[in-house]
Chain A
Amino acid sequence: MRTNGILRVIARFLIPLIMLFALYIQFHGEYSPGGGFQAGVVFAAAWILFALIYGLDAALEVIPERAQFVLACLGVLLYCFVGLLGVILGGRFLDFYPLLDSPHAAQQTGIVAVEFGVGVTVAACAMLFFTFFARRKRELDAAQAGDGD
């Protein structure tokens, strides 16, 4: 699809907007419907659109598979770290009150951090799904062709 002019122009216009919208949903999850899951999926959708139009190899240069894997684990680790931070600072696991002084600010900070961790994990995992499924066809053809079928 790289050669299709209309798709390229539209994609070049839309992909940054979609990523920006994903960040908007992520951080405005407290004030309007949104939050971590939606933002992660929309961000992954932007990356998948890039992969569909410019090819999987180009997309894997932007966010390589190793990075997707590491980000997925880091998101969950961030979540657990915030929880343990509550324990270290004197409360219970995932208790947000000990994090800051004012209870409202502490809860909001905790919620933003936790949702960010979830968003990163969901985005990375959705990208991982697409990467592995989309490569399978190529590997299958290579396996069959390489043995003179």
Chain B
Amino acid sequence: MAWLGHFNYWVVVILMMIGFYAVIARGNMVKKIMGLNLFQTSVFIMFISAGKIIGGSTPVLREGVTVYSNPLPHVLILTAIVVGVATTAVGLALAVRILEAYGTIEDDELIDPAEQSPDETQPGMSSGKGDSSA
């Protein structure tokens, strides 16, 4: 069955699209960064599932095992995971600075502050993010 052999790629694509949707369709920056992490994790799943051999086992040399799964994708993904958390940390630091400079992390409020009342940038409704109790 040809399609069953590609099942892992479908799972990856679906997860990737869920993360992609979160990045483009949600306004809150923290939600966007979460979507970016979902996207990254789906790519990791693709690489690791590409390196697996059915019947193989973890690539640590030991007695009684003849077939090992490919160690090379594991190496690449280790690096990628750590770089991903570095990117997330810097992204969240940027979100904190944006929050303090503009009072909000929703990007539709950031793009169009002119929609708010003209003499103040923060009407009471949208300032409910960080200043008043949620």
Contact = CB atoms under 8 A, between A and B. Distances in A.
Interface stretch (B11-19, B32-40, B46-54, B92-100): B92-100
Nearest to A40: B82
Given A33-B60, A132-B93, A122 B100 contact: no
Contacts of B93: 132-133
A37 B92 contact: no
A33 B92 contact: no
A1 B78 CA distance: 34
Contacts of B86: 125
A140 B92 contact: no
A3 interface: no
Contacts of A132: 93
A129 B82 contact: no
Contacts of B96: 133, 136
B8 interface: no
A4 interface: no
A2 B78 CA distance: 36
Interface residues of A, number: 12
Contacts of A140: 100
Interface in B1-15: none
Interface residues of B, number: 11
A133 B92 contact: yes
B60 A129 contact: no
Interface string A115-145: 0000000100100010011001000100000
Q: Interface on chain A toward B: helix, strand, loop, or mixed SS? A: helix
Contact of A37 (B58, B60, B78, B89): B78
A41 to B, nearest CB: 8
A37 B100 contact: no
B58 A129 contact: no
Contacts of A133: 92-93, 96
A102 interface: no
17 contacts: A31-B60, A32-B60, A33-B58, A33-B60, A35-B78, A37-B78, A37-B81, A37-B82, A122-B82, A125-B86, A129-B89, A132-B93, A133-B92, A133-B93, A133-B96, A136-B96, A140-B100
Interface of B: 58, 60, 78, 81-82, 86, 89, 92-93, 96, 100
Interface of A: 31-33, 35, 37, 122, 125, 129, 132-133, 136, 140
